[in-house]
Structure 1
Amino acid sequence: MAHCGFNETSPKVQTPRPEIVKPTHGTIDQSKKPVLFEIFGEIWTVQSQLGQGVSASVYRVSSGRAAATTTAAAVKEFQADTHGGDYGYHKERSVLEDIQGHKNIVTLYGVFTNHSCMGVVNHCLLLELLDVSVSDLLVRGSSATQVGREGYVHADLKPRNILWGADDEGFKLIDFGLSFKEGNQDVKYIQTDGYRAPEAELQNSLAQAGVEVDYGCTTAVDIWSLGIILLEMFSGVKLKDTVCSQEWKDNRTAIVDHLFASNSVVCPAIPVYHLRDLIKSMLLNEPKQRCTAETALLSPFFSIPFAPRIEDLVLLPTPVLRLLNLIDDSHLHNEEEYEDILEDMKEECQKYGSVVSLLIPKENPGKGEVFVEYVNSSDSKEAQRLLTGRTFDGKFVVATFYPLSAYKRGYLYQTVQ
């Protein structure tokens, strides 16, 4: 993506030709869903629609002639001159350009315009393709710091806007359409039901009633949202009905205590009272009394290292797979058998993507496990999907993801079972 620039008038960026968007048959917006984008002189194929809002749609796109060189990304296409599409585009582009470079912010590769077959010109963002969201993790079972340091209020923190970046091994923030600089709020209605801070609730109500208000929400509204998100992650359930109730407004602290007291499915390596106290400090009614992002990171909760469970590793993709239940100890100490197994495993794993390295430790930690490093997380995800449940020498394969950073350091830790 080195050729992607932020300046639409840059000589390195070729203007897209018309006739790129064509009608396609599908279940979502059949008349408008594009099948191709021309981006910086290359044709990108739309693989799927990731999301659709009032002013924009998001697509997964790929470019490349061969599987080994395929590049995947996301395109956010804003609707022209409808529902604030142009304004939303300029707002999000400006914010992303201003806070680019942080590991917990989605990467903006470049911007371009798309010409539909009807002659409509839509502004688009070419973005880093991210993986599962916190919302996905809740269904299946600390990014605000940088935004706050830059003086920005995200104004719409929720599980769907926090996504896992597999190659960077961290969660990242997306969707800055409601963001603003502190002291320069230019949107009346902010935040989503269930994650809305009390001061934002009041501001929205007054604006809806036509009352002129001096918009003054700060990064404290993001801290409130983050507190709700952490509480949902701990409890494993959506709390919208709870936090919108009168009981929550009257007895918030007691409800938090009850959720912690009643949840017995907890990793024993984490003293949960640290998390409980952190969440309480994020959910204080008075904005100035809430903890800041910086003070939140000083909580003992963030200083405690712990090993993830196997089921957790399955949910967060990385370029490295860890294959279990494959190799008997007897094969590890026969050099000829060991080399044969290495070759067989590499040949099998290369069927699903480009393998960078493969390791089978002969001693603990990791004895008899197979670690396969793919060139990217897309290949490892495909391999994980296809390998799980397969048999190898009569054994059923169990494939989990493994942290790339730990693998690179040779740190093959034993996970908590």
Structure 2
Amino acid sequence: MTGPADVGALLRPLVPRVLGALVRRYGQFDACEDAVQEALIAASEQWPADGVPENPHSWLVTVAARRLTDHWRSESARRRREETVALREPAAVVAGPDEERAPDEDDTLTLLFLCCHPAVSAPSQVALTLRAVGGLTTAQIAKAFLVPEATMTRRITRAKESIAAAGSVFGEPAAAEYAERLRVVLQVLYLIFNEGYTATSGTELQVPGLAREAIRLTRAVHTLRPGDGEVAGLLALMLLTDARRAARTGPGGTLVPLAEQDREAWDRVMIAEGATLIGATLGRGPVGAYQVQAAIAALHDEAPSAETTDWVQIAQLYEVLQELTPSPVVTLNQAIAVAMVDGPARGLALLDTIAGDSRMKQGHRFDAVRAHLLEQSGDHDAAREHYRRAAERTESVPEQRYLEERADRLG
């Protein structure tokens, strides 16, 4: 008998194809997306007990189409409109021309473009992507982001309303918009991965399901765009980073910093795949930020220890990254690398250049990095103060405990 976990793994890759088949035929992305979600729920309830149907894709299309036409039928009955749609037999969907070409067509990227429409806010882009393309339920997304389900429902509803109001249609954006829309898609996938790898709040450091989903979706985009260096770079970055997941927490979920992790626990298969991917990508076209970050991650993963890491090359790569995407977050990481090469005083001097940036006051990382470098320099009183200040500013319980422990160690 198929278990719920097996069913979930089977359903998620089918979601873009099923949703694409309905939207191509009927339009109305919002109504089709709701119908697909209902079909997914039906499958998760029926398949574990009754077994997986011979053609899961056609089963989902048929059920989703029935839910869609049932909805339109009730609307027609109440408002006396759309009678021809309400009377259409759902079985015709399975036999239609869209279904004949569906096995050879992947709508993942098209749906990502739609979910990441510029009219939609970044949080809503993430939520809608996970639901419409990733196949997660609203409840699952709400749980991952630690918000009430009603809040996430409103977020997704607003996203679909924004897409409808913008007059968006199912299909790739115009050639002039393609590069920018793809950039937004990659940014959304990156945000999903980061939240899965290091949750911004809550009692758990990681939400592995989100990280895995981001990798799965990025793999799908890479399959469709194998020659795009930044798509390959983002996938490599995710693989090289997620390879350390098992070593990032100790007993009771305590945070283990990179320098203290058991590297034997890192996933060498993922590291090999990520390193091979970025090695084959760099130098074959324009260099982008994700490629540079992947190269940095590869240097960390391939080093036998923190001490033997090629910090000189990492510091140089951060200079390149700063030129590509100037950001105080890049400066934070660059300061750590510079400190490893030239000493903590140089790292602290680099931090001083972003001390007045208002963006650094919105989180805990600036104080955490400053505390780390002050500790290295021997100024334990100042380090302790910044560790505690960082602990007060983070909403992640594991990070808070780690920072408080670092402060306590300094007396």
Q: Considering the TM-score relative to the shorter chain, is it more than 0.5?
A: no
Q: TM-score w.r.t. structure 1 length?
A: 0.27
- The structure in which a higher percent of residues are strand is 1
